[in-house]
Amino acid sequence: MSEGLLMASPRVLRLGTRRSLMATTQSQQVADRLTMLTGRPVELVCITTFGDVTKAQLAQLGGTGVFVSALRDKLIEGEIDFAVHSLKDLPTKPDPRVVVAAITPRDDPRDALVGPARLADLRPGDKVGTGSPRRVAQLRLLRPDLEYVAIRGNADTRIGKVASGELRAVVLAAAGLGRLGRTAEISELFDVADMLPAPGQGALAVECRAGDDVLIDLLAVLDDARTRAAVTAEREVLAALEAGCSAPVGAYASDDGHILNLTAAVVAFDGTRSVRKSTAGDPSAAMELGRDLATAMIAEGAGTLMGERTH
């Protein structure tokens, strides 16, 4: 190849990702789509985050941010050009150093049960594993007679606890199982009417340095306007409630292109009480919809429920 052609070749973009199979799989999907749409080559740069090495439960660490900070550090240091995060892991507090240049089309936002039967058919006292207080609180609303066990680890590790008999079932995000090609192991998909997902669940955030206008414009081809409106409303509920993923808050918004329908709930940790409200409005007012819904929930005692930690 001539020197002229070499000089004309676009620089390979470095995409920072966590090392887990889930993270690298979804990051590679984003990389492949960006290359397809723009012709720019992309390589993955695997980074170990604090959330990957600590053995503590994520709820004890405050949840959001433990998978994000190391990627942001590498971004600011210039070791990577952009990063891909599961949106539900992204803190709601803005970081002025970075910008979410794109939110990809959302995959299935629902939670999924992996086990031998549907939730209603499990036996009283059966052990169900999940690391999410949000899931536990809502599961206790549905089946207070089951035992809920805090677990961590990748999908293989969690599902392996069912195969070994340590647990009767586990609850995972349907989107993650879909990305890993493991939907055949799902025994039940929870309707959002029964189990509200985490704000932003199923969507991916593509983040780069603030001020890098050329890259921001390039990454914008990955952005899905409907998904962005929906998850903006959901995450604004979380922000206005001043809650992280250690709080039992669920939210889901759907945008048909004309109206954004938003439902959110705060559930007591013991599953005995909840505050659940819905609203609808113009997608362009997604942030205001989320903020107003959170205000209405606080007026009905949502803050009190989040402050209780009944185990």
Q: How far apart are CA 180 and CA 1, in angstroms?
A: 38
Q: Following CA atoms 22, 26, 27, 28 in sequence, which dihedral angle do they give, to the nearest 10 degrees?
A: 110
Asked whether 133 and 269 are in contact (CB, 8 A), the reply is yes
Q: How far apart are CA 10 and CA 13, in angstroms?
A: 9
Asked whether 180 and 68 are in contact (CB, 8 A), the reply is no
The H-assigned helical ranges of the chain are 3-8, 21-38, 50-53, 69-76, 133-142, 155-163, 174-179, 213-219, 225-240, 286-299, 302-307
Give, as one character, the DSSP assignment of residue 241: T
Q: How far apart are CA 171 and CA 229, in angstroms?
A: 27
| CA 77 to the chain's CA centroid | 25
How many other C-beta atoms are found inside a 10 Å radius of the C-beta of residue 59?
19
Determine the Cα angle at 177 with ends 194 and 208, to 5°: 100
Could you list the active site residues?
88-89, 134-135, 152, 158, 245
Give, as one character, the DSSP assignment of residue 2: -
Segments of 19-153 assigned E as strands: 42-47, 82-86, 98-103, 111-114, 127-129, 147-149
